[in-house]
Every structure is written in structure tokens, then in C-alpha cells.
Amino acid sequence: MNANPQLRRVAILGASGYTGREVLRLCRAHPELQPDLVMSARPGVDPEPPELAYDPVIQRLDLDQLDYVDGVFLCTPHGAAGELALAALAKGKKVVDLSADFRLRDAALHAKTYGDTTPGPAGALRAEAVYGLTEHARREVKAARFVSNPGCYPTAVSLPMLPLLKAGLVDLDADVIADCKSGVSGAGKTPSARTLFGNVHENFLAYGVGNHRHAPEIHQVLGTTRVQFVPHLLPVFRGILATLWIRPAAGKTVDDVLQCLDDAYGAEPFVRVYTRGLPELNRVQLTNFCDLGVAKVGERIVVISAIDNLVKGAAGQAVQNMNLMLGLDETAGLLD
């Protein structure tokens, strides 16, 4: 007999990457999510054995084993999630997709942005996928069987911007500048010349300027293309610090902006609005918090947003969504 009637069993497909390992870390410490299946996301491929004793043992992909779980986390590279999602949904499982495959509602825009399409039956999932920015889609997530987890930069930008736009506090006759910095884990586990230690250490650079894949997602979520997004690579492993330069609507002040954010998130468990001081990376690393702060600079108002890109920007938000989908407390496994 199950000693914990609330226990839900989950599968993690694509567990060798940074986000997959982060989902596994959170589930191992979760009181009600048990990671029963830890698998590769690539069919017919034998995963490499763990290098260290405490590394997870990753099994070969076997979709028949999904019969025995309640939920599935897809931690795949873009382009690989569709068929896995279809298989899991056909078995009646709740699915959270951490890839970018279903974040963009427009299939043509997705193909232009990511250079691939999701053909056949899997492509039809685009219309069903709930965009899981939890604080702004809680009701939809609870009722969903398939959630597309937001990207890390869009999470850091959208959480502060959505309430301000809804309240009419931003003058969109002027561009919003989203000056964002991320740790190197945001580039994923696959090595490249740009992410080699020797090229990151004691270095700082902009990248993807004008063509980063998260820009269309940010524009979709916010409903405007007036947000000019410039990402930078920090010489740290995890974390995002977003500096958002906005021109306030006529007559609106920094106090109005701060009050709006506090009204929107004062009761939220994972968004902390600073009434003094500004967020820093080391206050959010290894947590599911998004920290927000506000300052006045000349005629502009600056909003600072800080998250851990692997937690609130990926695995933590995915667990938050899966908690809701499986009828658990939203905060389970995510607060000390």
C-alpha cells in the first residue's frame, strides 16, 4: 500500500542535459513527485554510463514504461519534443515540455525562428499547448494536459512587464530596452567555442543581437514588438539579471510602477518585490524566485528582474506547473 496517497510518479525524458538534471534534482527532493523514470530522449540510443557515483543512471528511451507514471517532463533539444509529447498524451499523462517546440503559437514564425517545423499530428499540439508562465496562466495550467514551459529570458522579462503593460504604465511610443545577462548554462550542455571556459572566464559579451530566438517569444507574451531585447553572456554558471528601461506613461511615477508590481505579486509565493534595494543573482540562484526592484534614472524607470535560469527559467517553473496539473500544492518541492 502506498504510504503517501499524494505521491505522483513522473518521467524525465532527456535527463542528461542541464535542465533535465535540474528537474531530477528538484524531484528527488520533492515530497510528492517521485522520479520513477529517468530516460534519454533519443530513441535507439544507449545513454552513456554515469561518470561519477552520484550521477543519475539514465535509461534507454522506452515509451511503454510511461504507462506507470502520472506526469512526463520533456527536456529535449528543440525539434525533438513533438513525437514524445504525442506518445505521452496518448497514454493519458500530463506533459510539461521544457523545449522551445511549442512556445510560439504561429507555426511559420516557429519555423523561421528555429529553422524547423513540427509536422503531422504533433504540429496540431501547438493549438493546445498552454504557455506555462504560471503566475499569469494558473487556471489554464491547472486544467491542462500539455504545458509549454516558457524560456528563461522571456520569464525574466515578462513577469515584471506584464502587470505594467496591463495597467497602462508604459509609454509604448518609446521602445522598452531589455538589457539581459545570463549565465553560461543558458546555452545548454552541448559544448561550443563560445562556451569554453577559456572564452567565458574573465570575459563579458553581447550575443544574438537582433536575432536571438527568445525575442519573438517575448513579443508574443507581451503583445508588442516595442521591446528591444539584447542578451549578454556572464562569466557565471547560472542566473539571469534583466535590466528593463521603460518610459512611463504620462503622469506615472516610479512609485506607481512599484505599487503595480506589489499589487500584482504581493500574494505570489515565488515573486518578491523589493521595496528597497535591488535584486542580485546570488539571492535567486538555486531558487524558484523571481526578484523585482525599481529605480528612477533620468526620465526613465528601470526595473530589475533576477531569476535562476535553470530553476524559475526552466526546471523550477516546470515543477511548479506539474504540481498544478497533478493537483498538488503549487509550492511543493520548491520552498525550503
Helices (H), 5-63: 18-28
φ/ψ of 178, rounded to 5, equals -105, 95
How far apart CA 73 and CA 148 sit, in angstroms, is 10
Q: Kindly report the CA angle at 75 between 67 and 217, in degrees rounded to 5?
A: 125
Asked if 28 and 56 count as a contact pair (C-beta separation under 8 A), the reply is no
Of 41, 45, 161, 162, the closest CA to residue 101 belongs to 41
How far apart CA 11 and CA 15 sit, in angstroms, is 9
Note the Cα 130 to chain centre separation in Å: 13
75 is catalytic: no
Q: What is the DSSP letter of 315?
A: I
How far apart CA 86 and CA 245 sit, in angstroms, is 41
- Active-site residue identified among 152, 180, 260, 290: 152
Asked if 94 and 71 count as a contact pair (C-beta separation under 8 A), the reply is yes
Q: Are strands 176-182 and 240-246 parallel, antiparallel or unpaired?
A: antiparallel
How far apart CA 326 and CA 144 sit, in angstroms, is 10
Q: Any idea which residues carry the catalytic annotation?
A: 152
